Amino acid sequence: MPERASKYQSREARMAIREVLLKEWDPIGVQGIAGAENEYDPYVGRLYVMLMQEHATAEDIAAYLLNIATDRMDLALSTELAERGKRAAAELADLRPRLPTH
């Protein structure tokens, strides 16, 4: 049976995901704005599940991020937006082995 992540480990994993979203994805440009650190938190839990339970590929994650940006945030589809999602997805997928199991 896989070891379950403690609340502390889960919190740390979600913080790591949050950092990637702010650093690599940030489709609305809030990085560095005081008080906006939690802007993408509504997506962190789903990404954690995609990474740890569903073993989603970087391509799946990139598609999810692009969907959020274009459908939920109503941003125009652009090459830059797609590339940001791909970079963030690749970093998140690389992060997976360092995250505690859930």
Asked whether residue 25 is assigned to any structural domain, the reply reads no
Q: In total, how many domains does the chain have?
A: 1
Amino acid, single-letter form, for residue 82: A
The answer to whether residues 2 and 101 touch, using CB atoms and an 8 Å cutoff, is yes
Q: For residues 23 and 82, give the distance between their C-alpha atoms in angstroms, rounded to a whole number.
A: 15
Asked whether residue 15 is assigned to any structural domain, the reply reads no
Q: Domain range holding 53?
A: 41-102
Average pLDDT estimate for 36-50: 95
Asked whether residue 46 is assigned to any structural domain, the reply reads yes
Asked whether residue 81 is assigned to any structural domain, the reply reads yes
Inform me whether the pLDDT recorded for 52 exceeds 60: yes
Asked whether residue 23 is assigned to any structural domain, the reply reads no
Asked whether residue 47 is assigned to any structural domain, the reply reads yes
C-alpha triplet 67, 73, 75: angle, nearest 5°: 80
Residue-wise DSSP of 43-56: HHHHHHHHHHTS--
Asked whether residue 16 is assigned to any structural domain, the reply reads no
pLDDT of residue 10: 80
Structure tokens at 45: 């839990």
Nearest Cα residue to 21 out of 68, 77, 75: 68
Q: pLDDT tens digit string along 60-93?
A: 999 999 999 999 999 999 999 999 999 999 999 9
